[in-house]
């Protein structure tokens, strides 16, 4: 056994969905503007008890059940998040203890909205190196705590939720080599100042950065996995804005056979949770079959980006 694969997926979506019309009651915006510029119709907003750790634990438990693995078998937990209420302690060990995983290695990873793809790359390499046999990779965010609800340019975008994957050894390598990187010179395009702790974002330059850069990153990740973008069964971009995803898909000249994840339409931008949520939605709705090859493409605060081709469990 020398490969690593995703063995199971799980998700946690808050029950409360906030509509564009609801936002328009307190913000100078409209359902029409939000749909046209972002493709978003609703976003999930967590209840008081749906903390980053609680949502992550819920998603991770479902992923373990999906993989047919016990909590006792988990020897590594990586939590990708940037929205914990407090960063001390990190959340990964709390998820492990809540699940009943005895003494796994556990750490949090902050790579903004690329976090899940970064965490998946790290866990896959640890599995391939023989350092982990059953790894939990979770993206969980409560961006509603970090959102300025009086700022119409950001409040329409963000949501809460968690998605998880179990990664384990496999004869067939189901997690392709990662294509990743960063540009800290552009950090001020999306950040939360230490005084307000509320996200501020320069939308248009971020949009241009992402649509210019991501097609090349996507092509490189596909090449590393030995296939062309047109060979993919689906593409799962970070759900920052569906119009932006459409631009990336156009630039890649993807044929109609490639399914494009559009989970953000109902879920909003959930940062590190958006890629695993969108992947599990594709699988659960039957849009992609088990074994199908899907490109994951994360990008966001840092700025950071990361992409890899995975096989659907």
Ligand X SMILES: CC(C)(COP(=O)(O)OP(=O)(O)OC[C@H]1O[C@@H](n2cnc3c(N)ncnc32)[C@H](O)[C@@H]1OP(=O)(O)O)[C@@H](O)C(=O)NCCC(=O)NCCS
Residues in contact with ligand X by the rule CB under 6 A: 29, 33, 37-38, 113, 152-153, 156, 190, 203-204, 206-207, 210, 240-241, 244, 269, 300
Q: Does residue 20 have an active-site annotation?
A: no
Report the nearest approach of ligand X to the CB of residue 23 (Å).
8
Q: Does residue 110 have an active-site annotation?
A: no
Q: Where are the alpha helices (DSSP H) in 80-202?
A: 92-99, 115-128, 152-155
Q: Which of 117, 237, 238, 241 is catalytic?
A: 238
**What sign for the dihedral angle of Cα 206, 212, 217, 218?**
positive
For tokens 């968690």, the residue is 162
Q: Which of 313, 274, 265, 280 is nearest to 297 (CA)?
A: 274
Nearer of residues 126 and 305 to ligand X, judged by Cβ: 305
Q: Does residue 269 have an active-site annotation?
A: yes
Q: Which of 141, 87, 186, 125 is nearest to 276 (CA)?
A: 141
Report the nearest approach of ligand X to the CB of residue 207 (Å).
4
Q: Which of 131, 128, 101, 82 is nearest to 303 (CA)?
A: 82
Report the nearest approach of ligand X to the CB of residue 266 (Å).
17
Closest residue to ligand X, based on beta-carbon distance: 203
Q: Which of 113, 117, 222, 237 is catalytic?
A: 113
Q: Which of 279, 204, 203, 202 is nearest to 237 (CA)?
A: 279
Nearer of residues 113 and 259 to ligand X, judged by Cβ: 113
Nearer of residues 276 and 300 to ligand X, judged by Cβ: 300
Q: Who's near 115: CB < 8 A, 6+ residues apart?
A: 80, 81, 82, 109, 139, 271, 272, 298
Nearer of residues 6 and 180 to ligand X, judged by Cβ: 180
Report the nearest approach of ligand X to the CB of residue 101 (Å).
30
Catalytic (active-site) positions: 113, 238, 269
């Amino acid at each position: 056994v020398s490969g690593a694969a995703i063995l199971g997926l799980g998700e946690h979506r808050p029950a409360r969905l906030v509509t564009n019309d609801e936002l328009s009651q307190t913000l100078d915006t409209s359902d029409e503007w939000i749909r046209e510029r972002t493709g978003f119709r609703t976003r999930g907003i967590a209840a008081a008890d749906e903390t980053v750790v609680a949502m992550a634990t819920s998603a991770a438990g479902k992923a373990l059940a999906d993989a047919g693995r016990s909590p006792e078998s988990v020897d590594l937990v990586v939590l990708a998040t940037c929205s914990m209420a407090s960063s001390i302690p990190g959340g990964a060990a709390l998820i492990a203890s809540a699940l009943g995983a005895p003494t796994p290695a556990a750490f949090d990873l902050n790579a903004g909205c690329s976090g899940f793809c970064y965490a998946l790359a790290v866990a896959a390499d640890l599995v391939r190196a023989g350092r982990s046999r059953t790894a939990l990779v979770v993206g969980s965010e409560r961006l509603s705590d970090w959102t300025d609800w009086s700022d119409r340019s950001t409040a329409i975008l963000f949501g809460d939720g968690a998605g998880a994957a179990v990664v384990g050894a496999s004869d067939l390598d189901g997690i392709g080599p990662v294509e990743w990187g960063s540009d800290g010179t552009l950090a001020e395009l999306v950040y939360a100042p230490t005084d307000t702790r509320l996200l501020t974002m320069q939308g248009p330059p971020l949009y241009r950065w992402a649509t210019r850069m991501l097609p090349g990153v996507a092509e490189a990740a596909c090449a590393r996995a030995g296939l062309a973008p047109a060979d993919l069964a689906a593409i799962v971009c970070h759900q920052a804005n569906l119009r932006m995803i459409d631009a990336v898909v156009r630039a890649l000249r993807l044929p109609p056979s490639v399914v494009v994840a559009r989970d953000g339409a109902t879920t909003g931008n959930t940062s590190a949770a958006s890629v695993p949520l969108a992947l599990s939605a594709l699988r659960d709705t039957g849009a992609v079959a088990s074994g199908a090859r899907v490109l994951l493409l994360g990008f966001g605060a840092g700025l950071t980006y990361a992409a890899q081709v995975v096989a659907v469990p």
